């Protein structure tokens, strides 16, 4: 079946620290992979995506590379800011159908 | 910009009441989705629709129904609300399969 496993939170970092949030997936075929972010009191918004193996998605200083060999899509940022405090969700969409599968979310707090 | 709006940000209902949650998108998207979000469980798909008057069950449809009479509007119905349906409800839409989902701000429903 299809599933996403992401790193448990919460994560607390100091400003300018390096961030990694791990995400691994199980899927048949070649899914598309996504990272969504949810700021306090808001809905989810797309942060970045990758649609095939070795693709790198990037946005707002965040990056994630689609690794088929390790079935992973880890989120990274070199220097986090207070404004990055949010909940981050990894998700996949299988290559058949239109249902998304979300991880449980990782809460990030960045302190000044 | 795509806009997905939900009828209420906060809602308080009593056990046994019939509850309607409305979602409207303004970008002529084919697909619409209802999720519930609970701490530690991430997002779970309740129902989705890929066309007017069409609906598909997601992972947790029990206790819910949906209606899609017009392309832009997708309603979630709790026929007889129960306390275990207290949750955050998120609506999303997408243009087609394997396309980004756009989310509304969410409705936090409390059932007393």
Tens digit of pLDDT for each residue in A8-67?
889 999 999 999 999 999 998 889 999 999 998 888 999 999 999 999 999 999 999 999
A positions 47-66 inside 8 Å of B (CB): 49, 51
The span from the CA of B40 to the CA of B42, in Å, is: 6
Which pLDDT does position A97 carry in this prediction? Answer: 67
E-assigned strands of chain A? 3-6, 11-14, 19-21, 23-26, 32-38, 44-50, 56-59, 62-65, 75-77, 86-93, 101-102, 106-111
Confidence at residue A34, expressed as pLDDT on a 0 to 100 scale: 95
Interfacial B residues in 74-93 facing A (CB < 8 Å): 90, 92
Contact B103 A105 (CB under 8 A): no
Q: Which residue of A has its CA nearest to B57?
A: A99
CA distance A108 to A103: 15
> Which contiguous run of DSSP H or E holds residue B56?
strand B56-57
Report, as an integer, the average pLDDT of B75-85.
97
Q: For residue B45, list chain A residues with Cβ-Cβ distance below 8 A.
A: 99-100
């Amino acid at each position: 079946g299809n599933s996403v496993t992401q790193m448990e939170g919460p994560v607390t970092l100091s400003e300018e620290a390096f961030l990694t949030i791990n995400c691994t997936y199980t899927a048949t075929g070649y899914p598309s992979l996504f990272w969504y972010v949810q700021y306090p009191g808001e809905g989810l918004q797309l942060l970045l995506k990758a649609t095939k193996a070795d693709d790198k998605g990037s946005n707002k200083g965040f990056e994630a590379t689609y690794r088929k060999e390790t079935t992973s899509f880890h989120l990274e940022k070199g220097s986090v800011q207070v404004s990055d405090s949010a909940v981050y969700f990894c998700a996949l969409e299988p290559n058949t159908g239109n249902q998304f599968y979300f991880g449980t979310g990782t809460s990030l707090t960045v302190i000044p | 910009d795509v806009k997905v709006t939900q009828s209420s940000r906060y809602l308080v209902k009593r056990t046994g009441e019939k509850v309607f949650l409305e979602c409207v998108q303004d970008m002529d998207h084919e697909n619409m989705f209802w999720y519930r979000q609970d701490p530690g469980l991430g997002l779970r798909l309740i129902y989705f629709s890929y066309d007017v008057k069409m609906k598909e069950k997601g992972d947790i449809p029990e206790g819910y129904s949906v209606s899609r009479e017009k392309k832009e509007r997708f309603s979630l119905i709790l026929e007889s609300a129960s306390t275990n349906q207290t949750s955050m409800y998120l609506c999303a839409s997408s243009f087609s399969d394997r396309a980004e989902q756009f989310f509304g701000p969410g409705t936090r429903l409390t059932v007393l």
